[in-house]
Amino acid sequence: MKHISIPFVLLLIIPGLLQAQNRIGTGSMKNIYTQYCASCHGQNMEGGQGSSLIDDVWIYGSTDADIAKVIREGVPELGMVPWKSVLDEEQIRGLLILIREQKQLAETTGILEKVRPLGGIFSTDLHNFKLEKVTEVNDILWSIAFLPDQSILITQRNGKLWHIVDGQKSEITGMPEVRDVGQGGLLEVAPHPDYESNGWVYLSFSEDLGHTIESKNASMTTVVRGRIKNNQWVDEEEIFRVPPGYHTTRGGHYGSRFVFKDEYLFFPIGDRQEGDPAQDLTVPHGKIHRIYHDGRIPEGNPFYTTPGAYKSIWTYGNRNPQGLDMHPVTGDLWSTEHGPRGGDELNLIRPAINYGWPVITYGMNYDGTPWTDKTHMKGMEQPVLYWLPSIAVCGIDFYDGDKFPGWKNNLLVGGMASEEVQRLVIEDQKVIHRETILKKQGRVRDIETGPDGTIYVALNTRGPNSGALYKFVPLGEPRWTSLFNGRDLSGWEVRDGASTVLVDDGTLVAFHQDPTSHTYLTSKKSYGDFIMELDVKVVGDLNSGILLRGQSNSHFRNGKVHGYQMEIDQSDRKWTGGIYEEMGRGWLYSLEGKADAQKAYRPSDWNHYRIEAIGSHFRIWVNDVPTLNMVDKKMTKGVIGFQIQKLPKNGGGGAVYIRNVRIISDEAGNHINSIAIPEQAIDEVAVLGGL
């Protein structure tokens, strides 16, 4: 467990964090931390006189319960006093959330770098793609649905429904009146499963039936269905309408997504920002409902015969579900719902289950004060996954297309405040892997698989409100070309020095032999953009290197090879994977201070390298560990090669072994890998990061 200094308790005693989910770790509590605690634990909890609180190294356990116990009981031998007489359980819970938030902030740089597009290409663990705009609207784009002819329906929150055919959108007239206030408006849209035969389209929206409370207008979520004929909304039928007495003046938490399963329609209604009614079976909000397609209520619903209960209830204790989808293989129903500040949830939806809100939660109030200390209670379901900090979860979609085969049946989760899409791998009703595949391109409201297997996403911005529909366009498989035929030096030439290079059993072998000059084995062909992978082993006490976009000019050093060189460093310095500019500016990108990168190389052994040179961007991996992310504009084209160093005067020597050299030079930018280390731009004159 960490040593938590005494002033840390003030973080939870004084409330007032700015009320915004996407401004975690800021506000008055952060100011108090800076004033009283930073001298011990660092400005951002990174450690100082006291240990770090964000590195996930916890001596006495890393779970919330473990950390809370140490805060509560203390560890006297480490100078950590017990705080159970000063902090109540809610304050201890809030402190944990603050620590988790700060850890997420510490990781943000790496996440952003990993998902940042290069040349418009987004790279993920399994697939690369680019974003292509389909259309845009002048308000919040809320929901996406597809008709059998592959045309698209989208809802605009201020009440407009659009039909998009071949990229051209037409407004549907005659729409029902919606209450466009707060989080309310026109929400979900979806066609009936048998749309081709019946033409039904379902809508949900916030509706004002004229009911007032203390002279304020009240509203609630309503579901209707109708047909679209000649771009007009016609044949409307009521499917689910709550009596005015249940309406509320609160402006948020309308919930509302649709899932059709068999003859049933499932949809949620949020707690309408009132909390306690989510536990009350006599009211409709804070619930997920099940009805027939035509609005009738199934007698098999779990509370149909419970006296006073709202008969359409399927689950309760739901705060504000805004993601709902069915697994394409198992048929399981899954939901994402907003937590308060922290504690967004992924839930497996089963009948009659109480999901706990507002009695238990992994979050706290938006102002940073505790909501409750309770995360568990008998009779209340635990989430399959919770996000802490919150990402402001919204639309979800199980990918069931073929354009991204590695994502088959994975759950795609949208985040609004975090502006991201996460990919969740679910097996046996558990999340076994998570990856962020899109970030900081806009607030993600909905995500949907198109009939052709393309992924569509609704991205929004505020101030003023605007929305756009984009699609993920997959990029083809890379076309690798071998640079070494395994038999001879065809396509290569030995330059400058007199060291010997030969082919032995499918491997290029270069011996350090020349005492006066470096020798280079270079390609005869020049390359601009390329991605190269290869295996290299350096044996002996001399370093080597891989030449990238090498140059040879008769007017410079009598035509000797020079340029970017990826270092292969056999010394204790351990800078393998950095770049040195031979006969130029020297070290452009060293590995000084980069501990993870320095550990990647295995001396005197085979090492696998991946090198990406795309425009002015250079990115390198050593044994799958990222070591370099550099931008430099000096050389845009040149040869690829290998350095065989000259022999030192005091003796020594060795050899360089090279095999499995392959390259992508055609549309190489489409096949980049994501990288989680910050980009470093190199000054064209000064030498940075090296000596």
Rounded Cα distance, 311 and 321, in Å: 19
Rounded Cα distance, 161 and 157, in Å: 9
DSSP 675: -
Residue 193 CB neighbours (<10 A): 15
The encoded tokens of residue 140 equal 């919040």
Burial-class residue 168 by CB neighbours within 10 Å (0-12, 13-18, 19+). Answer: exposed
Rounded Cα distance, 284 and 377, in Å: 23
Rounded Cα distance, 119 and 292, in Å: 48
Quickly list DSSP for 398-441. Answer: E---SSSGGGTTPEEEEETTTTEEEEEEEETTEEEEEEEEEESS
Please say whether the beta carbons of 139 and 467 come within 8 A: yes
Quickly list DSSP for 282-330. Answer: TSSSSEEEEEETTSPPPTTSTTTTSTT--TTEEEE--S-EEEEEE-TTT
Q: How far is CA 73 from CA 59, 61, 95, 390, 577, in A?
A: 15, 14, 15, 29, 47
Rounded Cα distance, 687 and 277, in Å: 64
Rounded Cα distance, 318 and 190, in Å: 22
Q: Which residues contact 59 (CB under 8 A, 6 or more apart)?
A: 1, 2
Rounded Cα distance, 592 and 408, in Å: 41
Query: Nearest 5°: phi and psi at 209?
Result: -100, 15
Q: Which residues contact 417 (CB under 8 A, 6 or more apart)?
A: 20, 21, 22, 390, 391, 392, 443
Listed residue (691, 551, 668) closest to 619, CA to CA = 668
Strand, helix or coil for residue 165: strand
Catalytic residues: 253
Strand, helix or coil for residue 110: helix
Listed residue (244, 185, 183, 254) closest to 218, CA to CA = 244
DSSP 7: G
